[in-house]
Amino acid sequence: MPSMSEGRSERSFSRRPRRRSGRQGNSSRPQQRVEEPIVAEHFESTLPEGPLPSFAELGLSDALIRSLAANEITEPFPIQAATLPDSLSGRDILGRGQTGSGKTLAFGLAMLTRLAGGRSMPHKPRGLILVPTRELAMQVETALMPHARSLGLWCRTVVGGTSFPRQIDHLRRGVDLLIATPGRLSDHVRQQTCDLSQVEITALDEADQMADMGFMPQVRAILDLTPQDGQRLLFSATLDGDVDKLVRQYLHDPVTHSVAPPTASVTTMEHHLLFVSQEDKQTVVTEVAAREGRTIMFVRTKHHVDRLAKKLRSVGVHAGALHGGKAQSARTRVLGEFREGTTPVLIATDVAARGIHVDDVSLVVHVDPPADPKDYLHRAGRTARAGQSGTVVTLVTHDQRRAVQGMAARAGIRPESTKVRPGDEDLIRITGARTPSGEPVIEREKPARRGGGGGGRRFGAPSAGGRGEYRGGSGRRSEGGEFRGGPRRSERSEGGRGFGRTERTGRPRRAPQH
């Protein structure tokens, strides 16, 4: 097999010496540990030229290889070929690759292989994957579950917006690989329904987004509860800022595997800036949404999502709305309809910009341009995945030109700029825009609530947080989908404020949802 350590230090990459401590958790780690340089900065792996090694050559078991083949996965992606030898040998890993590059299986297959043959005790998972959003957690579970079953392992999700008692039941039965968002896992830790002292290997996926969303205090608190000598795999589009601090504190002698720079480099992705007048913008959006093919449109706020989706449905465009204010069941349904193709247009805030993989998204439209180049790249990454082609369009009004052009330069892209109006040939050529049918989309009737009319939630009904708590019907629903203002409040902490509570109310702090 070709060497996978080309360009690295000559030190042996056999299983690294494990850190030993008489205590669980990282609180006893020597202070000077934080100040050490990141060893990965000094050696970074590169793939050898020529064909990639097979899954068998990378060290995966026959059972996993058969499971991969049954799911039509026969050859590894570059990041999988780069990281698996080191992760299987016990190394801490920094993985950097463009979205859609196969990162989930890169860390997932290594974790399943390391966990195979063992058995988890009730409430004590042996593997942990932290992700920033509910949708990404469920996607990771979907990707790994069939392969886990082939090894006799169980993987489950612990996320907000779903039944807390059901999650407790899963943990009680024993979970080998737990996939969690920081907020909901913090709830389980606080209520002593999840014990992290037996975690052998931890993966952090989309670490930069967890930092952007304010989850770092919770992530640190969670890592402090895992054994010091546990293996850690961190995957991120960028490795700077808070992610860099996390690496310095919690990863030991890591090696970086980077198969793409942190700027746009997908050759199958076209980038366009479409200059439109404010008066024409809504009509242009409508014509683009009426195109054939699967389309994702990004806007800035949840209110704009709902408003735009309603406008599009009123003129015959099947459009779904996705944002943090939707209940989890509604978010799951909208994504399911988008994947199935019954709803070809998805209107979303940045809650959908990271980690959501839907096949054959041929167009991404920035209705509201992102201010941050990282947000641009992650939004754009919903198309042109796994070698497919796709187009990314940003609608730019006159007052936005300078800011958007600067953002594009920082993102490392050179978009084609075109001035368009409704019905223009260039608009049709770039996006496939067309005039909508004009027949309103009839939304399916929502099932009637049990217990008869009345406005609010019937007293004694389960809370929106899914935790078995009861409240009256006078509360209001927050952006995250839970009710507030009734006799009792849920103790969910979906935001990134650690395990602490606010001084004034004594309730968990929450960060804004997107």
Both ends of the chain: CA-CA distance in Å?
46
C-alpha 158/C-alpha 182 separation (Å) is 9
| 162 dihedral zone (left: phi>0; alpha: psi -120 to 50; beta) | beta
Long-range interactions of 69-77: CB distance < 8 A, separation 24+: 70/146, 71/146, 71/147, 73/105, 76/52, 76/102, 77/101, 77/102, 77/105, 77/106, 77/386
Q: Which amino acid is at 447?
A: P
Per-residue model confidence (pLDDT) at position 426: 95
Structural fold of domain 269-431: Rossmann fold (3.40.50)
Per-residue model confidence (pLDDT) at position 52: 82
Per-residue model confidence (pLDDT) at position 89: 94
User: Is the distance from CB of 9 to CB of 42 less than 8 angstroms?
Assistant: yes
Per-residue model confidence (pLDDT) at position 367: 97
User: Is the distance from CB of 79 to CB of 102 less than 8 angstroms?
Assistant: yes
Q: What is the pLDDT along the chain (514 residues), one digit of tens a residue?
A: 433 333 333 333 333 434 433 334 443 333 333 333 333 343 445 454 567 899 999 999 999 999 999 998 999 988 899 899 999 999 999 987 665 668 899 999 999 999 999 999 999 999 999 999 888 899 899 999 999 999 999 999 999 988 999 999 999 999 999 999 999 999 999 999 999 999 999 999 989 889 888 899 999 999 999 999 999 999 887 777 888 899 999 999 999 887 654 444 455 789 999 999 999 999 999 999 999 999 999 999 999 999 999 999 999 999 999 988 888 788 889 988 998 999 999 999 987 666 577 878 999 999 999 988 888 888 888 887 655 778 999 999 999 999 999 998 888 888 999 999 999 999 999 999 999 988 888 766 454 444 443 333 333 333 333 333 333 333 333 333 333 333 333 333 333 334 443 333 444 444 444 4
Placement of tokens 């709830």 in the chain: 187
- What residue ranges do the domains of the chain occupy? 34-258, 269-431, 457-514
Structure token digits, residue 409 = 């330069």
Per-residue model confidence (pLDDT) at position 17: 39
C-alpha 28/C-alpha 424 separation (Å) is 65
Q: Which amino acid is at 139?
A: Q
Angle (CA) 96 98 104, round 5°: 75
Structural fold of domain 34-258: Rossmann fold (3.40.50)
Per-residue model confidence (pLDDT) at position 443: 67
Number of H-type helices and E-type strands within the chain: 16, 17
Tell me, yes or no, if the two domains 34-258 and 269-431 fold the same way: yes
* Strand 231-235 with 361-366, pairing: unpaired
C-alpha 282/C-alpha 285 separation (Å) is 5
